[in-house]
Structure 1
């Protein structure tokens, strides 16, 4: 497993070669708040240097089926939303902040659109890995459901390609 410094070196190299990537943070397990902040600061510094990150994704740790499950509680909705908001403020140089509904649940991802997220991810046809880890969200969402969720949050849905280029605005 790569250290944080090794991971940042790989991302820096990829970005210098013109390869875009995503950044993420798994939180809510063994890290301290100071380590969360340090993680975000290091990502912001690398983004300032390379501009190569397309999006940032917050992943709450799902302890249910892990060895830490007896010691670590699931993050609260407020911790998830606070992490999202702080990420948006600290990562002011990231165009996209994703609230991944599969891990957050649909209602939390929907509210996160008012806490700094501008993306809740697209259609998923049958997610099983995170559900094996204890995710409480649906295993799939149709495009129509995602459009409804986004509109209910007072936002305008858009279809994007894998590089976050908007292909069409959905009315």
Structure 2
């Protein structure tokens, strides 16, 4: 893993204000000059002001897709190191992110150490596995919760989209999430 280069500018883009603030503080402690954005529009405005050497971009934002920010950053600075974050990992979105120019792809919740390792990884070798990865049950539960929220907490619609029986989904939703 290489160190931070002479340009330590980092753009964090995520619509979760608590997460982006916490990650921003952690990355500043690690030597980055952090700017944050909560939307695609705000991120694109910040890119015009100063194009960062590093970026961590959430895939799904309230006003659009984080891949638009990846593309805009890649157009402005080819050597930028870009990590895409997402609340759910899917091979199709990982492939799309890398094709658009992302350096790496991490599933949330990713901590500052994982983000730093991904940003500074040379790409020649895989970064070490996370210390405490989410269990398969937890990943499944997170995915169900995300689809449930996207369907405005409508159990029937969520069950239809997940190709699951409604009563089975109700039982899963009634339980606490696995750790």
The structure whose Rg is larger is 2
Taking structure 1 as the reference length, the TM-score comes to: 0.38
Taking structure 2 as the reference length, the TM-score comes to: 0.37
**Greater helix content:** 2
